[in-house]
Amino acid sequence: MILQTETGHLLTAFRGNLVGVRTDRLVAVLLLLQRREQVTAAEVARELEVSERTARRDLDALAVAGVPVYSTQGRGGGWRLVGGARTDLSGLTAGEARALFSVAGPASVVTPAVKAALRKLVQALPEPFRAQAEAAASSLVVDPRNWGASRAEHRPPRFLDALQDAVIHGVQVRLGYVDREGLGSERTVHPLGIVAKGSSWYLVAGTEAGRRTFRIDRVSSVEPTGDPVHRPGDFDLAASWRAIADEVDRRRTPLEVRAVCAPHGTRVLRLAFGGRLEVGGPTADERVEVVIRGHDEHLVAGELAGLVDWVEVTGPPGVRDELALIGKALVDRYR
């Protein structure tokens, strides 16, 4: 039986043992077990619109995570909570409720199924925690891609919890911060949301100079002021982060290479350049205009050299010159 004292263990299990499994779907399965005395994999599959194989895998994952579920075989068999137990969400503390929604919340900005699962979970929470739990679900965005090369994972930064509390409660903070040059500063900011980008965490906040982004592992102190956050009525964390990430990508790849591509070659370019590729309209000779962003002319020319069957670079001239030099070097070496 899941007792109040075991709630923290359940949250830890969801965080640590279910990596790679859809947490929002597991929450929905757990609530389904709570509502019914027994469920079959087929019933779970129909309810969540997944395959029976996926439903069985999710039920097994709950057991592995420490949730007391078991299966009975044969006619009339299915999955139950041990002893007919019900999940006791009334034992959640405010911090535990926020932690649970932080696990499931990030995907909710893009996945309607997650939003539905969270709405069901809200109804099972004690009344005092509902508003905070809903705020937690919308206060965090997860962007799994690193900036550039991947880095080793590390523990969440020291002030992550304090900043998320400030976002959830809508409280301004006096923020100590050390920039990339090692210079320290303090300022009062309006915390609007938190983003996990690869292995790094960022605070999106309003400041006197406008909206800014802070790497949380560079935060040196957090002091709530008690004053309310001024939050724009149309603010959307996911949309704001997309704009920030696009701007960072543009700064990291300032060079724009113009080219024309054979229509069947755009798929190859998407695989090669990902988000650095912009596909435009058709040309008079039935090719496609494209723009490829890069760091410098030599590196981009090296990336394009193997794509000559699909792409003709039209500018800037420096990239065309680099491609000509690469071609001459290849001929000299391999003829």
Which tens digits make up the pLDDT trace of 23-41? 557 777 777 777 677 888 8
Q: Which of 54-68, 293-307, 319-333 has the lowest mean pLDDT?
A: 54-68
pLDDT band for position 326 (50/70/90)? very high
pLDDT band for position 120 (50/70/90)? low
Q: What is the mean pLDDT of residues 270-284?
A: 87
Query: What are the chain's domains?
Result: 4-138 (1.10.10), 160-243 (2.30.30.100), 253-334 (3.30.70)
Greater confidence (319 vs 49) lies with 319
- The whole-number pLDDT of residue 97 equals 54
Tell which residue, 206, 213, 310, 305, has the closest CA to residue 264: 310
pLDDT band for position 19 (50/70/90)? very low
Q: Which residues contact 155 (CB under 8 A, 6 or more apart)?
A: none
C-alpha distances out from residue 83 to 2, 38, 87, 277, 292, Å? 10, 11, 12, 57, 61
pTM: 0.48
Mean pLDDT of the chain: 75
Tell which residue, 55, 51, 53, 48, has the closest CA to residue 69: 55
- The whole-number pLDDT of residue 16 equals 38
- The whole-number pLDDT of residue 17 equals 38
Strand 277-282 relative to strand 210-215, pairing: unpaired
CA distance 111 to 132: 21
Measured in degrees and rounded to the nearest 5, phi and psi for residue 184 equal: -90, 150
- The whole-number pLDDT of residue 14 equals 42
Q: What is the mean pLDDT of residues 59-84?
A: 72
Which tens digits make up the pLDDT trace of 279-311? 999 899 989 999 998 888 999 899 999 888 899
